[in-house]
Structure formats: C-alpha cells, structure tokens
C-alpha cells in the first residue's frame, strides 16, 4: 500500500523525518509517536501535499512526487485539525466532498447518507456542524474521508479531544473500516495503548526516526515477559519472587502473579521457573507469556524493576 525509501523532510533547522524506510500493507496500521514525531508530516507527503527534502515514497503504486492527484483520488484523508465549515450540515458537507471526488449527484447523496449512518451520525447530520460536539465533528471528518469509497484512508489522530467512551467508539469504527469495509487504514495516535487494540501492524516514530515497525502481536510478545502464578496467596508469591530473583531473573509482583521481565535466554527460563517452583514445593497454577503493552517500548529500561 505504502512504501518510503530514505524519506527525509527538513523545515529549516528542524528535521521532521530522517531517512525513513517504511512499508505499509493491508489491514489497520497504527502510526505512533509523541507530538512532533513527524506523523502529520509523513501523511502530508504521502498525499503529495508536501514535497520531501529527499528520498522517495509511493502510495498504491503511485509516486508521491508526480502523482499526488491520482493518490488523492484513491485515498481518503481525515485531517487532525478542525477543518469543518460551521454553517454547513454534515449531510451537505459530505455530499459536496463526494461530488468533488467525482461522484454523480444521486450517488453522492446515497453514499453520504450511508456513510453518515455507519459513523453514527443520524438525525444530527442535518444540523449545522458549528453546534457539534468534538465527537460528532470527528465522525463528520471520518465520513468525508470515506464517501468516495477509497482503497486506503489516512486517519490523523481520530481520537483527539474525545472522552474515554467516545474514544472506544471511534476505535471500534476504525477497526470496522479495516475489517468490515476492507479499506486499508493508516491511523495515527500519540496514545500508544489505544492503537495496540485496533492495529494489525504498528510503526513507531520517534523524533522523525523509525523506532520500530512490526506486527502488533510481535510487539506485544517482544515487550512481554512471563507471568507465573502459584497456589498459596501473597506469601507463596513473594517466596517465589525472591527465589527467582536469587536465580538471576528480574521480577516483581503484580496482583496474584509474579511478572518475570523478558529474560536473556527465553528458552531456558521456563525450565528455571518450573524447577524453582518445584524446589519450593509450590503448586504451579500458570506460566504464560506476559502480553506487554506498547508503552513498554518507551519506558526507560523497558519498564523493568530489579
Ligand atoms: N510547516 C512546518 N514548518 C516548520 N516546522 C514544521 C512544519 N510542519 C511540521 N513542522 C515540525 O516538524 C516536526 C514534526 O511535526 P508533525 O506535525 O509532523 O508531528 P506529529 O507527529 O504529527 O505531531 P502532532 O501530533 O503534534 O501533529 C515538528 O517539530 C514540527 O514543529
């Protein structure tokens, strides 16, 4: 879907993207990074709206340097900033943008009604958008990105400004776009935890550099250690934790379990834990991979404690 090679973008002294090589496939891809990491800059380059300082990028096989209009015909874009005219209804707005994308009037009206219903704007769609809540505005922005039935959508911070319940709704919508509508999605967020729930693949940018790009499952596996639970309550848990620490494993209690941080020898650790539990005469309830969180990637020392 998307490929970049040594993509670099400088604004004067600021290097917003540094020699970025990424590849984005089908499904939902999360683009994660703190504010200023370069997410919006990358999206604008991919849409052919910004010319990169050096390097190349292609979207759906089209070169961003020369084929911006073709890319924008095939791609939907939900910008981060507030860009809705306040004195227009969502219905008129989405119909208008559908027509701008080349849909005949009747088709644009039908598609707009369908898509507004899908994103959860019903009766409100006839009201002027100036009076909308942030959640309704985000839905209207999402609807205009989808009205022309794109093959790929760029969603720039779709959960920005939403309360927790509205965030969950928006993330479910993002997931449905990828899974049910079959549209590839590139979605950005500075909140790492929310993207791990909806993305098949995650790309992490840090100060314009690629920090990591991998399947979400690998990410979670990579950042996680082991969870060990034994019979005997807190006393047994602490006894085990102390014995594992003596055996050279970094671990800590979390609720009823002992969390063992990612070991240097992942194959030997299972045997070591099993033998330690047996030597202590404790009953092993479970020994399983700890599905870490994307946040762990950014914690100093990977979030481990001695
Ligand atoms: N037009 C511009 N002129 C000068 N500097 C810019 C411009 N656009 C972006 N930058 C700078 O480039 C860097 C990356 O910005 P960008 O907006 O891409 O980050 P982001 O990850 O999308 O963050 P945010 O979520 O805050 O938008 C920042 O340091 C920003 O200040």
Tens digit of each residue's pLDDT (9 = 90 or more) over 217-241:
776 655 557 889 999 999 999 999 9
- Tokens, residue 13: 């002294």
- Residue 303 is predicted with a pLDDT of 36
Cβ-based neighbour number of residue 214 at 10 Å: 14
Q: Quick one: how many helices (H) and strands (E) in the chain?
A: 10, 14
Alpha-carbon distance of 171 to 199, in angstroms, equals: 10
Query: With 0-12 CB in 10 A as exposed, 13-18 as middle and 19+ as buried, what is 93?
Result: buried
The Cα-based distances of 3 to 7, 33, 226 in angstroms read 10, 19, 35
Alpha-carbon distance of 235 to 233, in angstroms, equals: 6
User: Residue range 144-167: average pLDDT?
Assistant: 92
Query: Which residues form ligand 1's pocket by a CB distance below 6 Å?
Result: 11, 14, 16, 33, 35-41, 80, 157, 190
How far does the centroid of ligand 1 lie from the alpha carbon of residue 43, in Å? 11
Pick the CATH number of 225-290 from 3.40.50.150, 3.30.70.270, 2.40.128.50, 3.30.720.210: 3.30.70.270
- Tokens, residue 127: 């009201």
Q: Are 236 and 290 within 8 A, CB to CB?
A: no
Alpha-carbon distance of 55 to 37, in angstroms, equals: 18
CATH assignment, 2-220: 3.40.50.300
Tens digit of each residue's pLDDT (9 = 90 or more) over 258-287:
999 877 777 788 899 999 999 999 999 988
Atom number in ligand 1 closest to CA 42: 18
Q: Could you tell me if the ipTM is greater than 0.90?
A: yes
Question: Over pLDDT 70: what percentage of the chain?
Answer: 93
Every domain of the chain and the residues it spans = 2-220, 225-290
* Substitution site in 18, 41, 208 for ligand 1 pocket (most atoms within 8 Å of beta carbon): 41
Tens digit of each residue's pLDDT (9 = 90 or more) over 69-128:
999 999 999 999 888 999 999 999 999 999 998 899 999 999 999 999 999 998 899 999
């Amino acid at each position: 879907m998307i490929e970049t090679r040594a993509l670099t973008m400088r604004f004067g002294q600021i290097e917003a993207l540094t020699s970025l090589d990424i590849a984005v496939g089908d499904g939902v891809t999360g683009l994660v990074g703190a504010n200023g990491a370069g997410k919006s800059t990358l999206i604008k380059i991919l849409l052919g709206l910004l010319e990169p300082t050096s390097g190349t990028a292609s979207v759906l096989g089209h070169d961003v340097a020369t084929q911006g209009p073709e890319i924008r015909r095939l791609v939907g874009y939900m910008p981060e900033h507030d860009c809705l005219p306040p004195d227009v209804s969502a219905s008129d707005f989405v119909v208008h943008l559908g027509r701008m994308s080349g849909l005949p009037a009747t088709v644009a009206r039908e598609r707009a009604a369908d898509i507004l219903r899908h994103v959860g704007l019903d009766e409100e769609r006839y009201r002027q958008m100036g009076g909308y809540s942030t959640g309704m505005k985000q839905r209207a922005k999402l609807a205009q990105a989808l009205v022309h039935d794109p093959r790929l959508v760029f969603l720039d911070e779709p959960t920005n400004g939403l309360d927790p319940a509205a965030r969950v709704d928006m993330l479910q919508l993002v997931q449905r776009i990828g899974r049910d509508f079959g549209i590839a999605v590139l979605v950005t967020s500075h909140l790492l935890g929310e993207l791990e729930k909806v993305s098949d693949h995650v790309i992490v940018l840090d100060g314009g550099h690629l920090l990591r790009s991998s399947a979400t499952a690998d990410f979670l596996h990579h950042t996680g250690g082991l969870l060990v639970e034994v019979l005997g309550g807190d006393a047994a848990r602490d006894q085990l934790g102390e014995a594992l620490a003596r055996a050279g494993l970094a671990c800590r209690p979390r609720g009823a379990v002992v969390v063992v941080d990612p070991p240097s020898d992942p194959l030997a650790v299972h045997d070591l834990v099993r033998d330690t539990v047996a030597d202590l005469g404790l009953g092993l309830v479970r020994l399983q991979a700890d599905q870490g969180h994307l946040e762990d990637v950014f914690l100093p020392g990977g979030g481990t404690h001695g």
